[in-house]
């Protein structure tokens, strides 16, 4: 297995932590406002992903996503949020029972910043908080690590694109006052990998995300 570690990982992780700290301070400073427009939440979820173009079909790659989201309510029905997330993507052959074939996989580790627009929906007019929330928007990600057991990429892990731009659409369902169940779908606009000096299409990343969001 070949492993490539981007040495700027600590740098970008530090940036994310600093941005999260600044956002937390800003949130704390605005907490005394009577009409609270800012909010924050912690996100923990699992990923099912695949890479179109590597001949490993299916959402077989299991990964993790976690981080912090800061939201701003434009009004009771809509708003914006941005976040700082760690996300694992890639592809895998999956588990094949009673097979002598060595499983192949590609693991891509990102630090991501989603910028989303959301709409809240109620089932009852007198409901004080949203029941459903639909969100959509871009996600900008920085690649920090590549792991591959796919022989095709043994000497090419450094050729993966360092930046990724994706679009996502998601739905959250309020389980309690603090806890939401979230489901989202993400598709890269840019290629996560392009074979140098080649006219081949390269690899396109797809992701299904299922998890929980806890409001602070």
Q: For position 123, what pLDDT does the model report?
A: 61
The per-residue pLDDT for 184 is 95
Residue-level pLDDT at 44: 95
Predicted TM-score (pTM) of this structure: 0.75
The span from the CA of 189 to the CA of 169, in Å, is: 14
Beta strand ranges found along 122-149 (DSSP E): 132-148
CA angle 62, 4, 147 (to 5 degrees): 20
Q: How far apart are CA 160 and CA 194, in angstroms?
A: 7
Tell me what pLDDT residue 199 has: 53
List the domain boundaries for the chain.
Answer: 2-215
Element (H, E) at 20: helix 9-30
The values of phi and psi at residue 144, to 5°, are -120, -15
Which pLDDT belongs to residue 153? 64
Residue 170, token pair as written in the block: 């998601």
Q: CATH topology for 2-215? A: Porin (2.40.160)
Element (H, E) at 65: strand 61-73
Chunked mean pLDDT (size 10), the chain, 216 residues: 46 52 48 62 92 70 91 87 91 58 79 92 63 92 84 68 93 90 93 67 85 92
The DSSP code for 59 is S
**CA pair distance 209, 185, nearest whole angstrom:** 6
């Amino acid at each position: 297995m070949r492993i490539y570690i981007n040495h700027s990982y600590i740098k970008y992780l530090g940036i994310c932590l600093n941005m999260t700290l600044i956002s937390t301070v800003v949130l704390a400073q605005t907490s005394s406002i009577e009409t609270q427009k800012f909010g924050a939440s912690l996100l923990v979820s699992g990923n099912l992903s695949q890479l179109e173009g590597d001949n490993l079909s299916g959402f077989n790659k299991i990964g993790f996503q976690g981080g912090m989201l800061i939201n701003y309510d434009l009004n009771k029905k809509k708003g914006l949020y941005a976040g700082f997330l760690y996300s694992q993507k890639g592809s895998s052959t999956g588990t094949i029972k009673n097979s002598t074939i060595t499983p192949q996989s590609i693991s891509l580790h990102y630090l991501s910043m989603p910028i989303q627009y959301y709409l809240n929906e109620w089932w009852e007019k007198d409901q004080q908080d949203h029941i459903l929330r639909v969100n959509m928007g871009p996600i900008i990600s920085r690649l920090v690590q590549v792991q591959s057991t796919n022989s095709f990429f043994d000497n090419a892990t450094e050729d993966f694109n360092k930046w990724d731009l994706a679009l996502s659409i998601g739905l959250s369902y309020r389980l309690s006052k603090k806890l939401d169940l979230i489901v989202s779908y993400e598709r890269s606009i840019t290629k996560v990998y392009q074979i140098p000096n080649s006219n081949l299409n390269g690899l396109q990343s797809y992701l299904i995300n299922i998890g929980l969001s806890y409001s602070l």
